[in-house]
């Protein structure tokens, strides 16, 4: 590879400065992890031919292949800038990481002092340390507002000095909104494998920096960019300043690099349909180590399999055959990138989310979302194999834990941005990348067990069912409906007279009518012959025949994306009585592929389709994407509906989307309760999916209803969801963590 010739030229094999001696003890000198204890090991770090290397005390350098996780600074109920993670949480999480054979944790910015104290304590008590790749945070909006990145040099350098002082346990950071603060007294510098600075660079900022500044390169003491464009020269200067500061203040040097991503890689991508995704390059090879800096530099990329579209459209990637003998566009891109890069290459972020919703497709199924936790683990393990087989320095999973504050492009308009951390939006892929899940503390298990419903709001029928004598009367008969909610879902349980052997879906289907807008009674779909206060209707017709539909005027997808989807918007603004529309989620707005001129049309998925399974993580049959569970032994059918499906913008305050056709999506309205009515019916023969009700010799085509009804109008149970200031939640390692632990252990046992 070209990179090996490069490494030989700059002479990486020389001696490296110490990384610090790491005093260990509690802040009170009692033998914990602040100052006051004995010295730890003297570790030295460098970049070798194929990646990172470490030497302990006077020993030889040995390779360290990265088996990492990215650790953010948010938790449920808190934005990341609140720096609210506690010492107990850091201790617990680091212990879990170690059990998964994680050897590197990457952080994007300075964490609270508790993180460094916890890391020092962990490494003091474990033979195999967890190393740190440390970054500094510079917000995307800050960069965009500045335009020319060089105007932020002083701020950037100050943040890196703060990072260096923090890892050496030698600073006090005063409180500043959006950042961690406190006394940093735990020296973890003997565990800092390197620095990865900055963020995924916005192409517009790279362009403006290159336009505004002269291309004079940069010649520093430790890092240089002799022939680089202005942006890479600016990065070289920032890295050089950080390395120089640590060298002068602490007599320590370690590898340093900057963050990069596919959008600004140095490769040419003629099949990329979006100009901004291949408009500029930020080339790690433009920044080189000088003879005075033997610790060396490297390339650090965030690489996901589903974006930008070039990964799906470039034939060389799509048809690439991986080490398993399978087509694999992700492996194709990685190998191309490694071959074109002189420096050892670290995949600093990779992952797929275990969300219910989906935001992007991957041509080989590694989509952004709609994976079970087990599937997430299988994909993560396969991606880590791809990363290692591409001869990289290793990979860092994104992310350690789920992050409730995150937004995703296709769902962001439908939730209150100021309240996102306070509830769990399972529809949003960006919130579900973690190996560690945060489950609502009061969630029902969705496994049929009645105990979790003891405090639910309940209603029983006020009259007997219609007896049809068709052998399914016991399944038609609803004995109760129960409703509960938590930070993620509205939960409904239907209790039946008898479900022995399970429902015969050809004989019995069920409807739920849900109302939040005080719309008054509306005719129900499926030729039910009845009306109810319904903004949404749930039809339960068995696997592959169950869905949530929405009253067309309350279809937020139609409002936001309907023109691109080719919908007749007049039918949504003023729908016909009894019309309900499928709930959809956009995953592609359409584009034209250069070179071929092929048009890839607008695409959406019907996210209202319901999946049957067991939602209890303790069950051997656990399905993390389950929406519906049928329990014949308990004569019950349970449904959980994500708040986002019901146009709830903030369940913690009971706020929903308003009349967006006249007031826009951000005109939130408070709702006091949710109307819930349940009914059973006999599906008619000969319909497309068996959904239409069979005409019955009765006032309606319904066999039974709860709470009841008269004259064709159903009455509703009034459910008042609780509100909260801080969400109650529990931690749980996902099923995906097992697969990650297995692949990490396999490579660790290989000695690399």
pLDDT digits (tens, 9 = 90+) for 157-204: 999 999 999 999 999 999 999 999 999 999 999 999 999 999 999 999
Q: Where in the chain is the domain with CATH 2.60.40?
A: 457-719
pLDDT at 20 over 80: no
120-138 pLDDT, tens digit per residue, is 999 999 999 999 999 999 9
Compute the distance between CA of residue 481 and CA of residue 206 in angstroms, rounded to an integer.
58
Does 265 have pLDDT greater than 80?
A: yes
Average pLDDT over residues 578-607: 98
How confident is the model over 538-543, as a mean pLDDT? Answer: 97
SS (H, E, C) 360-429: ECCCCCCCEECCCHHHHHHHHHHHHHHHHHCCCCEEEECCCECCCCCCCCCCHHHCCCCCHHHCCCCCCH
pLDDT tens per residue across span 267-284: 999 999 999 999 999 999
b/e sequence 94-131, b meaning 16+ C-beta within 10 Å: bebbbebbbbbbbbbbbbbbbbbbbbbbbbbeeeebbb
d(CA 87, CA 85): 7
Number of other CB atoms surrounding residue 449 within 10 Å: 16
**pLDDT reported for residue 566:** 97
CB 639 within 8 A of CB 540: yes
Cα distance between residue 604 and residue 587, in whole Å:
5
Confidence grade of residue 689 (pLDDT, cut at 50, 70, 90): confident
- Residues of the chain with pLDDT > 90: what percent? 92
pLDDT mean over 690-718: 93
Considering the chain, what percentage of its residues have pLDDT values greater than 70?
94
Report the alpha-carbon distance of residue 414 to residue 583 in Å, rounded: 13
Q: Supply the pLDDT for residue 24.
A: 37
> Per the structure block, which two tokens stand in for 299?
């390339």
pLDDT average, residue stretch 389-402 = 98
72 phi/psi in degrees, rounded to 5: -85, -175
Angstrom distances, CA of residue 57 to CA of 17, 39, 292, 478: 12, 12, 21, 73
Q: How does pLDDT run across 298-323, given as a tens digit for each residue? A: 999 999 999 999 999 999 999 999 99
**β-strand partners of 43:** 56
Half-sphere exposure of 736 (CA within 13 A, CB side): 32
Average pLDDT over every residue of 195-224: 97
Length of the chain (residues): 752
Residue 232 pLDDT greater than 90, yes or no: yes
The Cα 346–Cα 299 span in angstroms is: 6
Segment 319-330 mean pLDDT:
98
First to last CA, the chain: 20
Residue 436 confidence (pLDDT): 98
Q: How far apart are CA 729 and CA 496, in angstroms?
A: 31
Cα distance between residue 298 and residue 3, in whole Å: 10
Residue 8 pLDDT class (50, 70, 90 cuts): very low
Q: How far apart are CA 105 and CA 131, in angstroms?
A: 6
Choices 3.40.50.10420, 3.30.980.10, 3.20.20.80, 1.10.760.10: CATH for 60-439+730-750: 3.20.20.80
What is the band of 39 on the pLDDT scale with cuts at 50, 70, 90? low
- The answer to whether the beta carbons of residues 113 and 182 sit under 8 Å apart is yes
Q: Which CATH architecture does the domain made up of 457-719 adopt?
A: Sandwich (2.60)
CA 423/CA 729 separation, integer angstroms = 10
How far are the Cα atoms of 5, 286, 367 from residue 226, in angstroms, in the given order?
18, 8, 40
Q: Are strands 299-302 and 345-350 parallel, antiparallel or unpaired?
A: parallel
Positive or negative torsion for Cα 51, 56, 62, 68:
negative
Backbone φ/ψ region at 419: left (φ over 0), alpha (ψ -120 to 50), beta: alpha
Q: Are 424 and 687 in contact (CB under 8 A)?
A: no
Q: Report yes or no: 221 and 290 within 8 Å, Cβ to Cβ.
A: yes
Contacts of 168 (CB under 8 A, 6+ apart): 20, 187, 189, 249, 250, 252
pLDDT band at 685 (very low <50, low <70, confident <90, very high): confident
Residues 228-233: contacts with CB under 8 Å, at least 24 apart:
228/283, 228/286, 228/287, 229/286, 230/150, 231/149, 231/201, 231/205, 231/206, 231/280, 231/282, 232/282, 232/283, 232/286, 232/287, 233/286
- Are 392 and 50 a contacting pair, CB within 8 Å? no
Which pLDDT belongs to residue 318?
98
What is the rounded average pLDDT for all residues in the chain? 94
Residue with tokens 């252990």: 745
Q: What's the whole-model pTM score?
A: 0.94
**Rounded distance between C-alpha atoms, residue 80 and residue 72, angstroms:** 7
What is the pLDDT confidence band of residue 19, given thresholds at 50, 70 and 90? very low
| pLDDT score at 15 | 30
Asked if 474 and 445 touch (Cβ cutoff 8 Å), the reply is no
Give yes or no for a contact between 150 and 212, defined as CB atoms under 8 angstroms apart: yes
Q: What is the dihedral of CA 414, 415, 417, 419, to 10 degrees?
A: 170
Token readout for 647 is 């146009």
| Rounded-to-integer distance, Cα 710 and Cα 687, Å | 27
pLDDT bracket for residue 27 (50, 70, 90): very low
Answer for the pair 256, 273: CB distance below 8 angstroms, yes or no. no
9, exposed or middle or buried, with CB in 10 Å at 0-12, 13-18, 19+? exposed
Distance CA 479, CA 363 (A): 47
Q: Can you give the pLDDT at residue 692?
A: 94
CA distance 477 to 499: 10
pLDDT at 41 over 90: no
pLDDT of 18 strictly over 60: no
Q: Where in the chain is the domain with CATH 3.20.20.80?
A: 60-439+730-750
Specify the pLDDT at position 691.
Answer: 84
DSSP letter for 178, please. Answer: T
Determine which helix (DSSP H) or strand (DSSP E) holds 113, and give its type and residue range. Answer: helix 113-125
Two tokens, residue 348: 């600093």
Tell whether omega for the bond before 707 is within 30 degrees of 0, i.e. cis: yes
Alpha-carbon span 301 to 692, nearest angstrom: 52
Token output for 92: 């617990």
| Cα(655)–Cα(545) distance, integer angstroms | 30
CA distance 56 to 36: 22
Tens digit of pLDDT for each residue in 359-384?
Answer: 999 999 999 999 999 999 999 999 99
**C-alpha to C-alpha distance for 718 and 231, rounded to whole angstroms:** 60
């Amino acid at each position: 590879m070209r990179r090996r010739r490069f490494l030989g030229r700059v002479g990486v094999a020389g001696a490296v400065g110490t990384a610090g001696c790491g005093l260990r003890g509690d802040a009170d000198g009692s033998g914990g992890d602040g100052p006051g204890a004995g010295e730890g090991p003297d570790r030295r770090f460098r970049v070798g031919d194929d990646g990172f290397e470490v030497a302990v005390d006077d020993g030889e350098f040995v390779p360290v292949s990265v088996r990492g996780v990215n650790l953010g600074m948010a938790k449920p109920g808190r934005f990341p800038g609140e720096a609210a993670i506690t010492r107990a949480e850091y201790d617990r999480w680091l212990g879990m990481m170690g059990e998964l054979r994680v050897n590197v944790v990457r952080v994007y910015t300075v964490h609270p002092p508790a993180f460094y104290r916890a890391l020092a304590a962990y490494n003091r008590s474990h033979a195999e340390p967890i190393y740190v790749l440390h970054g500094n945070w510079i917000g995307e909006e800050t960069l965009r507002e500045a335009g020319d990145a060089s105007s932020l040099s002083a701020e950037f350098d100050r943040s890196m000095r703060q990072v260096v002082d923090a890892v050496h346990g030698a600073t006090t950071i005063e409180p500043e909104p959006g950042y961690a603060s406190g006394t940093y007294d735990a020296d973890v510098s003997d565990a800092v494998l390197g620095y990865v600075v900055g963020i995924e660079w916005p192409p517009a900022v790279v362009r403006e920096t290159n336009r505004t500044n002269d291309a004079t390169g940069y010649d520093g003491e430790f890092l240089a960019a002799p022939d680089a464009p202005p942006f890479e020269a600016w990065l070289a200067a920032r890295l050089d300043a950080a390395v120089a500061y640590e060298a002068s203040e602490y007599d320590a040097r370690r590898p340093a690099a900057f963050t990069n991503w596919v959008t600004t890689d140095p490769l040419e991508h003629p099949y990329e349909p979006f100009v901004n995704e291949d408009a500029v390059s930020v080339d790690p090879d433009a920044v080189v180590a000088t003879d005075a800096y033997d610790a060396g530099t490297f390339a650090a990329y965030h690489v996901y399999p589903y974006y930008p579209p070039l990964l799906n459209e470039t034939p060389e990637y799509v048809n690439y055959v991986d080490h398993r003998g399978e087509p694999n566009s992700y492996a194709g891109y990685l190998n191309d990138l490694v071959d074109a890069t002189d420096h050892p290459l670290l995949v600093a972020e990779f992952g797929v989310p275990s969300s219910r919703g989906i935001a992007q497709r991957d041509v080989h199924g590694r989509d952004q979302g709609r994976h079970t936790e087990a599937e997430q683990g299988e994909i993560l393990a396969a991606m880590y194999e791809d990363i290692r087989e591409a001869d990289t320095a290793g990979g860092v999973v994104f992310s350690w834990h789920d992050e409730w504050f995150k937004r995703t492009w296709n769902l962001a308009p439908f939730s209150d941005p100021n309240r996102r951390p306070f509830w769990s939006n399972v529809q949003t892929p960006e919130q579900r990348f973690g190996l560690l899940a945060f489950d609502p503390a009061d969630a029902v298990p969705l496994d049929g067990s009645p105990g979790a419903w003891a405090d639910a709001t309940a209603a029983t029928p006020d009259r007997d069912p219609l007896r049809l004598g068709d052998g399914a009367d016991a399944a038609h008969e609803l004995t109760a409906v129960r409703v509960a909610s938590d930070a993620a879902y509205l939960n409904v349980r239907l209790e039946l007279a008898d479900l022995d052997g399970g429902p015969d879906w050809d004989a019995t289907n069920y409807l739920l009518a849900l109302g939040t807008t005080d719309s008054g009674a509306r005719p129900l779909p499926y030729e039910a012959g009845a009306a109810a206060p319904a903004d949404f209707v749930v039809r339960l017709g068995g696997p592959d025949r169950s869905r949530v539909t929405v009253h067309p005027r309350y279809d937020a997808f139609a409002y936001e994306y309907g023109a691109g989807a080719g919908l007749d918007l007049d039918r949504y603004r003023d729908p016909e009585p009894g019309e309900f529309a499928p709930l959809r989620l956009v995953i592609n707005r359409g584009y034209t592929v250069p070179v071929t001129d092929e048009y890839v049309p607008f695409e959406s998925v019907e996210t209202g389709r319901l999946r049957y399974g067991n939602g209890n993580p303790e069950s051997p049959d656990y399905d993390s994407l389950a929406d519906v569970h049928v329990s014949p032994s308990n004569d019950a059918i349970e449904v959980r509906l994500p708040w986002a499906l019901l146009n709830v913008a903030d369940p913690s305050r009971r706020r929903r989307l308003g009349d967006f056709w006249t007031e826009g999506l951000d005109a939130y309205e408070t709702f006091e309760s949710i109307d819930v009515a349940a009914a059973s019916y006999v599906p008619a023969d000969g319909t497309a999916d068996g959904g239409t009700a069979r005409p019955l010799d009765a006032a309606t085509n319904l066999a039974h209803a709860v709470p009841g009804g008269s004259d064709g109008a159903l009455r509703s149970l009034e459910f008042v969801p609780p509100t909260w200031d801080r969400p109650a939640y529990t931690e749980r390692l996902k099923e995906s963590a097992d697969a990650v632990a297995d692949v990490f252990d396999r490579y660790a046992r290989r000695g690399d």
